[in-house]
Amino acid sequence: MPPLFVYAAVFVFFIYCLRSIFNRRSLPLPPGPKPWPLIGNLPHLGSKPHQSIAALARTHGPLMHLRMGFVDVIVAASASVASQFLKVHDANFSSRPPNSGAKYIAYNYQDLVFRPYGPKWRMLRKISSVHLFSGKALDDYRHVRQGEVAVLARALVSAGTQSEPVNLAQLLNVCTVNALSRVMLGRRVFGDGSGGCDAKADEFKSMVVEVMVLAGVLNLGDFIPSLEWLDLQGVAAKMKKLHQRFDTFLTGILEEHKMKKGQDGSENQKDMLSLLISLMDNNTADEEGGKLTETEVKALLLNMFTAGTDTSSSTVEWAIAELIRHPQMLAQVKHELDSVVGRDRLVTELDLPRLTYFQAVIKETFRLHPSTPLSLPRIAAKDCEINGYRIPKGSTLLVNVWAIARDPNEWTEPLVFLPERFLPGGEESNVDVKGSDYELIPFGAGRRICAGMSLGLRMVQLLTATLVHAFDWELPRGLMPEKLNMEEAYGLTLQRAAPLVVHPRPRLSPNAYGVSN
């Protein structure tokens, strides 16, 4: 090959590379509101960031740039934009940005939720997927979930004889925690599961809610590192104190389990924690991720007891509230349940696939009330281009799941609770919640999709179906259904501003609840 040709080819290639680099650097950032000096757009976010960011996106577009302190934040507020980040560029956004919640609560990024993408994360994900959330594992523990839901039903039967209404959120939380703890630990965390006068249950619920609230706070130290040491909002101090409470709780559980294992032998213990302890003792637990440490086990338990309980119970609470507000829909769900299940037994998980209208109600609840309204943040590993805009390396990505599910470009009457849209023949009949339809992603999508999605779906469906089938619901003090407070209280999860307080009235045969006449 003539030397001149080689030099010419190298020169052309060099110019091409320079031009590519220049063009990339010349691309604009996505549009967004003008930031304030130093603090950037933090004042624009208000007390409910998912709602404020949705309003900003209506003005500036579904791909939006915010400057929070010294951090570039990119917001995806439409299905098409979300798919660019979570599908096309998923590998580039597979890790989490630094944040105080992961640092001070989640054992300094040793957990599954906030750990950076890499061998250790893949190891934890594999352990969770194979041993806790696989189809076989879920089927093996079906009787546990159904048993705890039956305990809840009996507790509500007893509560129905009282004159005082019940706080449904508290009882739901006890049920979800005990169902998970029997799988994880082989025993209930809260007494007999009835939730009555259980100070330990109340304390644990408050700890979980505080985690979600603190994790949802926009901490100035995360966005202006030079101010982190001042802890101007007192968030870091609260996180450290809460971590100590959780660590005491989890350490006690772990030590008790290790002691029991030493006494009884591992053969008699088939719960998740026994497996994790055996992996701790095994130096070749995972060829890629290495040995599982005690801190990682506690961090994984923390993930399960926070992300796996409050999200499910709050979604069920929203579903029951929506059905109370829509009596005709409630009647239709009851009719379907009576037709499939009858009135002589409680719902089982095997009944759920046959409940077509009910499944539509659950999808609609996930749409209007996603448990995580703003997706957990991701970080750009390198510069990339999305829709003609430059996304800088180190940018934080937020997907506004709440806004996408209320986008009028995707949904007819987006603010109306309308399960019929998901029925066969409906405009959204083929849309699912499992991460492939980006207009409805309550569990996220891509590599960092919620590991416990399958368990969460089963718990939400079983709990909601049982509550609707087994009870009639009355609001206290003659409150009319249309007047029920549906305001949101923002945290990492989407809580109701006012807990759902109701009178449960049993509607099945007494034998269905396991109680005598």
Residue 450 assigned to a binding site: yes
256-261 LR contacts (CB < 8 Å, sep 24+): 257/185
Instruction: Return d(Cα 127, Cα 132) in angstroms, integer.
Output: 8
How large is the angle between the packed helices 272-281 and 119-131, nearest 10 degrees?
140
Burial track 334-363 (b if 16+ CB lie within 10 A, e otherwise): bebbeebbeeebbbbbebbeebebbbbbbb
The backbone region for 411, taken as left when phi is positive above 0, alpha when psi lies in -120 to 50, beta otherwise, is beta
Helix extents (H) in 288-423: 294-307, 310-325, 327-341, 356-368, 401-404
CA distances from 412 to 251, 349, 429, 430 (A): 50, 31, 13, 15
> Using an 8 Å Cβ cutoff, are 78 and 409 in contact?
yes
Q: In what order do the strands lie in the sheet with 501-506?
A: 166-167, 501-506, 471-474
Task: Indicate if the alpha-carbon torsion angle 53, 58, 59, 65 is positive or negative.
Answer: positive
- Of the candidates 306, 349, 317, which has an alpha carbon nearest to the alpha carbon of residue 177? 306
Counts of helices then strands in the chain (DSSP H, E): 18, 11
Residue 21 is inside which H or E element, if any? helix 3-26
**How many CB atoms neighbour CB 31 within 10 A?**
13
Which residues line the annotated binding site?
450
Which residues line the annotated binding site for heme?
450
